[in-house]
Amino acid sequence: MNKKPVMLMILDGFGISDNVDGNAVRESNKPNYDGLKAKYPHTALSASGLDVGLPEGQMGNSEVGHLNIGAGRIIYQELTRITKSIKDGDFFENKAFNTAIDDALKNNSAVHLIGLLSDGGVHSHINHVKALITLCKRRAVKKVFVHCFLDGRDVSPTSSKIFIEELQNHMDSEGIGEIATISGRYYAMDRDNRWERVQLAYNAMVKGEGNTSTSPFAVIDDAYHDNKTDEFVIPSVIVKDGKPVATIKNKDSIIFFNFRPDRAREITRALKDKDFKGFERESLDVTYVCMTQYDKTIEDVQIAYKPESYE
């Protein structure tokens, strides 16, 4: 059999669909692409859902694509892995989560849940923080606070109220938990060493400094009034009777529920690195849980879902 070369073409941001309405790719002039298709046999690869190890119907993303291409087989993503563990019940027995809760109970301190609040499934998923709320309820934790990073990139730019309401309804149902701060991901999830952004999110969570409001919905309304979408909401502190609902203190426990590492590293280093140089701050003595391994060099943290081997 005469073997011929095979080319894998990766076209970033390029969708393949037979739909005509609104299909700019199909309707545009693409002489090279169309010429190759006309001349050579071709097919398309599925880059979303179960075919790349994501839940059915979940959109793909660059990291997912790179992992599957590099492995040459389906790699089940952290979103799928964590979601499955919630359904199976293993999530609620996770050693790292329960160690953080044990320490909070022993110290009569708080559990702080921090992360991106949306169902985008790229960096996090709202169902994971809801499961953590349920776990805290089962373990009879009294002080549970959520520091919400607003999305607006992997979901609609003005969808945050939907997720805030969903979270609040779940906390009301469980009878536990309060929202302590609101920050756009532009600040809390920087990945390019723009420490002046990260510092604003840090100051809101740890020092109770920044814009203040009695309601997360009011924070969002004010941002929209200033033509800022969810991603760019300035870190804000929720107050009750003139005081922050909660700040992160020594002996508290923190669980960061983002599973994608790249935009979780900087705020984690700000909260945990002993020799942190990004901006001036006092070191914290906290129990810290990363949902996955954000970086091998980050010390003194627990990892809820450790890397799996694909050898």
- pLDDT at site 59: 86
Annotated catalytic, 62? yes
Quick one: tokens of 174? 């469980």
Q: Which amino acid is at 110?
A: A
Long-range contacts of residues 43-51, Cβ cutoff 8 Å, at least 24 apart: 44/16
- 62, 173, 215, 283: the active-site residue: 62
> Band of the pLDDT at 60, cuts 50, 70, 90?
confident
For 82-305, CATH number out of 3.40.1450.10, 3.40.50.300, 3.30.565.60, 1.10.540.10 equals 3.40.1450.10
Contact assessment for residue 135 and residue 174, using Cβ atoms and an 8 Å cutoff: no
Quick one: tokens of 229? 């979408």
pTM of the model: 0.85
How far apart CA 213 and CA 231 sit, in angstroms, is: 18
Q: What is the pLDDT of residues 265-283, one digit of tens each?
A: 999 999 999 999 999 998 8
How far apart CA 125 and CA 259 sit, in angstroms, is: 9
Q: What is the pLDDT of residues 124-161, one digit of tens each?
A: 999 999 999 999 999 999 999 999 999 999 999 999 99
Contact assessment for residue 7 and residue 39, using Cβ atoms and an 8 Å cutoff: no
Percentage of the chain lying above the pLDDT 90 cut: 78
Q: Which amino acid is at 209?
A: E
In the DSSP assignment, the letter for residue 191 is -
**55 pLDDT higher than 90:** no
- pLDDT at site 213: 98
Quick one: tokens of 243? 């005081």
Per 3-state DSSP, the chain is made up of helix, strand and coil in percentages (nearest 5) of 40, 15, 45
- pLDDT at site 215: 98
If you average pLDDT over each of 14-18, 23-27, 88-92, which comes out highest?
88-92
In order of 67, 107, 208, 294, 296, the CA distances from 303 in angstroms are 21, 21, 27, 9, 11
pLDDT (average), residues 31-37: 93
- pLDDT at site 53: 86
Quick one: tokens of 245? 């609902």
SS3 292: strand
Placement of tokens 């299909």 in the chain: 23
Sign for the pseudo-dihedral over CA of 171, 140, 104, 132? negative
Alpha helices by DSSP H, listed for 89-225, are 95-107, 126-138, 160-174, 185-188, 195-202, 216-225
Placement of tokens 């935009």 in the chain: 263
Beta bridge partners of 239: 244
> Do the strands 178-184 and 236-240 form a parallel or antiparallel pair, or are they unpaired?
antiparallel
Contact assessment for residue 256 and residue 268, using Cβ atoms and an 8 Å cutoff: yes
> Band of the pLDDT at 72, cuts 50, 70, 90?
confident
- pLDDT at site 14: 82
Q: What is the pLDDT of residues 240-251, one digit of tens each?
A: 999 999 999 999
Placement of tokens 């203040």 in the chain: 212
Please name which of 66, 67, 96, 102 lies closest in space to residue 82, comparing C-alpha atoms: 96
Please name which of 110, 146, 106 lies closest in space to residue 250, comparing C-alpha atoms: 110
Per-domain residue ranges of the chain:
1-76, 82-305
Contact assessment for residue 158 and residue 152, using Cβ atoms and an 8 Å cutoff: yes
Q: What is the pLDDT of residues 160-218, one digit of tens each?
A: 999 999 999 999 999 999 999 999 999 999 999 999 999 999 999 999 999 999 999 99
Query: Lowest-pLDDT range, 7-11, 120-124, 249-253, 275-279?
Result: 7-11
Q: How far apart are the first and last CA of the chain?
A: 31
Write the Ramachandran bin of 24: left for phi over 0, alpha for psi from -120 to 50, otherwise beta: alpha
pLDDT (average), residues 17-32: 88
